[in-house]
Amino acid sequence: MSNTSSHLHGGDIYSLAESLNIPQRKIIDFSSSPNPCGVSKKVKAEVRKFLKFLNNYPDTECRRLTQVLSERYRVNTENILCGNGSTELIYLIVRALKPQKALIVSPTFSEYERALSMYGVSDISFFPLNETDNFKLDAQTFIETLKGHDIAFLCNPNTPTAGFISKEDMLKIAAAAHAFGCYLIVDEAFMDFLYSHSKNPDSFSMTGEILNNPLLIVLKSYTKFYALCGLRIGAVFLDARLTNLLKTYKEPWTVNTLSQRALVTALKDNVYERDTFSLLKTEKAFFEKSLNKNEIQYFPSMVNYYLIKDTRAAHIYDKLRSRGILLRSCANYRGLNEQFLRISVKTHRENSLLFKNLSKNLSIY
């Protein structure tokens, strides 16, 4: 497999474009997972409108955005802190809380482990998710493992596995963490993609529960659902005392003006949400049909990406990469190997091109 698989994350269209000596716009990126609908027209218009304010410093308190988030999730503004994507907030949480003993599931988002290691946390335990169970987390076993740790991270839905933990199980885990005196960090970066499965957008999220549990911290990334990867915007929902603590460790002006205005507009765009769920319903069905047709194993997913396993994965990755189609190798995920790939769902044109190239290369494998 090409050495580009050593990158920590997907989305590196820049290295591939340079390697193939082609424009970046020619790369079709299935390695990262933003909304396939792209940036909404309303957001683009709002960003253009606010270009004239770039000579002013951004609001370091994100007042307007925080108010909109407060209304959407029914929490107080003092329970919200915005950041330059959820990754900034992951590092900020670790820096402020200074944990000693951490628990992380495996495989999952690599920045939890990296943030802990960067700030000197050497006692890190890993809770393995089993392939035979479709990488589904067993809540009771996880609760039994929680005791003795002072911080734990859960990504729900998980990346790269797409595994989902029910609200019922999450409530049990959060209650146990509180009883054990353990901070529970719940990363809901891809939670918005689940809303198509429920009429109540709060039925899956743990954001409202932070009002009843001072050790529960919920992360939200808005770069995924609203396709704002280049702007970077996220928020953390937590007890007001923790908000104040995190602010003492946070640098000013990390959330720029365009990011703030873009998200304020995006959160009110109901048409964009409906279009997203309509597209995903159609394209996920096409995706699964195409994977089955090519006899490629995939794991259950309620979101906009799939974890696949195939002995030909390295071949698939390299051949498609040479054609400017970028997949996400999972070789550098703890608990996975080169047989695993994560592939995002995109537009029908792009998905069709993916499977046309995939079928062609598998036929000569």
Q: Does residue 4 surpass a pLDDT of 90?
A: no
Average pLDDT, the chain: 94
Q: Average of pLDDT values for 197-211?
A: 81
Average pLDDT over every residue of 321-342: 96
200 φ, ψ to 5°? -105, 110
Write out the chain in H/E/C secondary structure. Answer: CCHHHHCCCCCCHHHHHHHHCCCHHHCEECCCCCCCCCCCHHHHHHHHHHHHHCCCCCCCCCHHHHHHHHHHHCCCHHHEEEECHHHHHHHHHHHHHCCCEEEEEECCCCHHHHHHHHCCCCEEEEEECCHHHCCCCCHHHHHHHHCCCCEEEEECCCCCCCCCCCHHHHHHHHHHHHHHCCEEEEECCCHHHHHHHCCCCCCCCCHHHHHCCCCEEEEEECCCCCCCCCCCCEEEECCHHHHHHHHHHCCCCCCCHHHHHHHHHHCCCHHHHHHHHHHHHHHHHHHHHHHHHCCCEECCCCCCEEEEECCCHHHHHHHHHHCCEECEECCCCCCCCCCEEEEECCCHHHHHHHHHHHHHHHHCC
If one compares 216 and 202, the residue with the highest pLDDT of the two is 216
Over residues 196-217, the mean pLDDT reads 84
Asked if 235 and 83 count as a contact pair (C-beta separation under 8 A), the reply is yes
Which domains does the chain possess? 3-32+270-363 (3.90.1150.10), 41-266 (3.40.640.10)
Structure confidence at residue 5 as a pLDDT band (50, 70, 90): very low
Q: What is the pLDDT of residue 176?
A: 99
Give the model confidence (pLDDT) of 57-81 as tens digits. Answer: 999 999 999 999 999 999 999 999 9
Q: Decide if pLDDT at 201 tops 80.
A: no
pLDDT above 60: residue 294: yes
Q: How far is residue 320's CA from residue 358's CA, in Å, rounded to a whole number?
A: 7
Token readout for 188 is: 């809901």
Query: Can you give the pLDDT at residue 11?
Result: 82
| Least confident segment among 5-14, 164-173, 323-332 | 5-14
What is the band of 114 on the pLDDT scale with cuts at 50, 70, 90? very high
Rounded CA-CA distance 235/66 in Å is 9
Angle, alpha carbons 92-98-104 (nearest 5°): 80
| pLDDT > 70? residue 17 | yes
* Cβ atoms 304, 280 nearer than 8 A: yes
- The residue-averaged pLDDT of 214-231 equals 97
Letter for the amino acid at 342?
R
Pairing of strands 151-155, 297-298: unpaired
pLDDT per residue as tens digits for the range 127-183: 999 999 999 999 999 999 999 999 999 999 999 999 999 999 999 999 999 999 999
Identity (one letter) of the amino acid at 188? E
pLDDT of residue 198: 60
pLDDT (average), residues 183-206: 84
Mean pLDDT of 313-323: 95
Which amino acid, one-letter code, is at 104? I
Distance of CA 22 to the CA centre of its chain: 28
pLDDT value of residue 7: 45
Query: 223 falls in which pLDDT band (50, 70, 90)?
Result: very high
Q: Decide the pairing of beta strands 80-83 and 151-155.
A: unpaired
Residue 264 phi/psi, 5-degree rounding, is: -55, -45
β-bridge partners, 306? 343
Q: Determine the pLDDT at residue 202.
A: 64
Q: Two tokens at 81?
A: 């802190």
